[in-house]
Chains A and B, each alone.
Chain A
């Protein structure tokens, strides 16, 4: 555990990707093989079995430190992390231990099915054995996630560097279903489990936002232009008679979308498709708010199926005839895809159309019409490009339409969590409705650290009322809020809700009486509603 604690510390001690990769490589060179498997598991969001509820951890910590519950909560809201709050509150350990990471995880596993007293004794004993940083990690094993700024890509790069294996292969092999209690480090990074499991998705190829004029990309003839759809990126895998649907978040979502299950009979074995899960009716894409009714539900009723029918707009083919097809140029992949899907003529599974255009100007004009078909702009993909793992500059670009914007005034502020636990970073914004201000959005991203500090000091000085962690502030600071869509909402006082609101910029040049009105937003809602 000490070595793992050291790794965590090193990863936190630097902001530089190279330093972090070096720390990881170093760790993978030195650590125990079983520990390494667990580190990969933890960093990619796999959790060990957790025989103890985090509420119990908190309760025991409160009990042995004799901290009043309200004071624990105050501390937690300052620290922003339960595992860390407990680690910091406990008295210094009286013993020490050289247990390795996997040993602790196995010990925890052994606790399954034991009574609470046994669990409590074990935990108190461990707490009395570990230093602060180790304690924090131990608590995390039971109750949290290891979000410490190591992306999958960074982890894979470190593993590739340490093992001299291909990074795409490692990405593929660590990305899905394997059991950290069973697999060895060598098996894992060599991906022996990859072919034995029919469900394996490929890493998605991602695009960068286009910053320059599109003409800077050279001739339009070298590019394939498609609509950029605003849904859930997904991969459909059909192998050996089984069908799997993966979301971009590396989550299996097959059960959520029964409308797509018929593909099991249509698609040949050894096919993997990349596309967008959308609300679709008669080959037309519906708004994202319609799709939202179908997301993250455990069960789906008939009404939901009728109100928000799901479809899949297909972008690409990654595997064909059981062969990895990603090294083929896009033009070739598209041909195969058209043969496979083009003949389908289904109302829900649709080949995402290619936009035919002769000049960049023509394309730019078409892009302005994106919203009328519920698209959020245009994708540009080089016809000669391979299907890359992850984000690679140059071959794929997203050319999004500009977001909607509204000028609103800040009326509430709340402290953030995690890194921002001690600053007012979560703001609520309002527009004018006659004499009143009415809340329209909450947003927390979009300001620089320096601006946040400035807003923070404004909030501290201009707080009118306290409601727990929330401060009502003088309506004075005006911000330009960008958003992607607008929908009717009964839950919100304004009667409408903005989709993906974020702070575009702080309008220091504007006063609170110059902000937008609720009527402005109602008009926008009316004009978009037609496009449903």
Chain B
């Protein structure tokens, strides 16, 4: 019998009687990472990485019952051995390894191969079956090294400052925001929206080394912001607050920005192809490294990617999940951001 089945509540391990990243409430939810399409309200117990715990408590509720594991540690539940390995997606993101009577299954959640300087680096885990995302599962998606992309962003910011424009980067408050902060920190001060500042506090408190940023308050002036880098969550994108800045120009950092059509669609001033998901070569590399005999392909270009795997001798099948949304994973509005933004915009006047 297979170690996991795909049910309407989510990925289910019958032998261990628990779910991984369920989208409907269950008794025991093993959680890969803190993004809202992977962890939801209402489960009786949560099992996640130690760094994910304060994040989901902050984002969902302080009252959650959460057990934690560090990378490489394991617990046994109804005879199923559960352990976590770094997925490289965001801080605390984990691949979940399940082992039962010699059968090994790895659920990768979301992942990327490249070291982003802030998340623990993706670690391939040998297994019999592997659940992989396919957000960017087409060969046109090949990322440049992040140094190249960050140099591009730094040059853009420099030009903006010289031209008296205010650089506004749109980034998820969990994940992309911290990656930007870590890699852009330097001479130019970084100003962050409340929802990002709040999460940063939690993350720093959990022991992650994050460079200093400045929380935007009603006292922050337009002049200060113009000479810095402003990072806000997607919910703020078309806000009056941004329009009222001094000559604002917006930049979006997302893997979709690789393609002109998406850049134009987003109607931002600049698009930088920077993703927390694996690109095509990354997906192939990860899957090959697992040695898996069977691959389940979830959210993204599931049909194309699983067909390609099958044609290349790796048995694969498409699985429908509620992770991401077709083609739109990186662009979804994170509920936590919306709620925060609604409260905060009122208090945040530039002057």
Contact = CB atoms under 8 A, between A and B. Distances in A.
Interface string B238-267: 000000000000000000101111111101
B169 to A, nearest CB: 14
A55 interface: no
A15 B252 CA distance: 14
A419 B265 contact: yes
B70 interface: no
Nearest to A419: B264
Contact of A79 (B259, B267, B311): B259
B326 interface: yes
A418 B261 contact: yes
Contact of B138 (A68, A75, A460): A75
B269 A15 contact: yes
A81 B261 contact: yes
A418 B262 CA distance: 8
A293 interface: no
A421 B264 CA distance: 10
B262 to A, nearest CB: 6
B267 A449 contact: yes
Interface residues of A, number: 31
A510 interface: no
Interface residues of B, number: 26
Interface string A167-198: 00000000000000000000000000000000
B265 A423 contact: yes
B139 A81 contact: no
Contact of B261 (A68, A421, A449, A456): A421
Interface string A71-88: 100110011110011001
B150 interface: no
Contact of A68 (B259, B263, B311): B311
A74 B308 CA distance: 11
Interface string A415-456: 001111111000000000000000000000000010000001
A530 interface: no
Contacts of A456: 328
A96 interface: no
Contacts of B326: 460
B226 to A, nearest CB: 17
A65 interface: yes
A422 B138 contact: no
Nearest to A136: B260
Contacts of B328: 422, 456
Contacts of B142: 88
A417 B261 CA distance: 8
Nearest to A68: B311
Nearest to B263: A12
A422 B139 contact: no
B100 interface: no
A276 B269 CA distance: 40
Contacts of A81: 260-261
A414 to B, nearest CB: 14
A465 to B, nearest CB: 14
A14 interface: yes
Given A12-B264, A14-B269, A68-B311, A85 B325 contact: no
Given A78-B140, A79-B140, A422-B327, A88 B259 contact: yes
Contact of B139 (A13, A65, A423): A65
B304 interface: yes
A12 B327 contact: no
B139 A457 contact: no
Contacts of B139: 65, 67, 71, 75, 89
Contacts of B140: 75, 78-79, 85, 88-89
B13 interface: no
Contacts of A70: 307
Interface in B125-161: 138-142
Nearest to A425: B265
Interface in A72-119: 74-75, 78-81, 84-85, 88-89
Given A75-B140, A78-B327, 12 more contacts: A67-B139, A70-B307, A74-B304, A79-B259, A79-B261, A81-B260, A419-B264, A419-B265, A422-B327, A449-B265, A449-B267, A456-B328
Interface of A: 12-15, 65, 67-68, 70-71, 74-75, 78-81, 84-85, 88-89, 136, 417-423, 449, 456-457, 460
8 contacts: A14-B269, A71-B139, A74-B138, A74-B304, A75-B140, A78-B259, A136-B260, A421-B259
The 4 closest A-B pairs by CB, nearest first: A88-B140, A421-B261, A419-B264, A74-B304
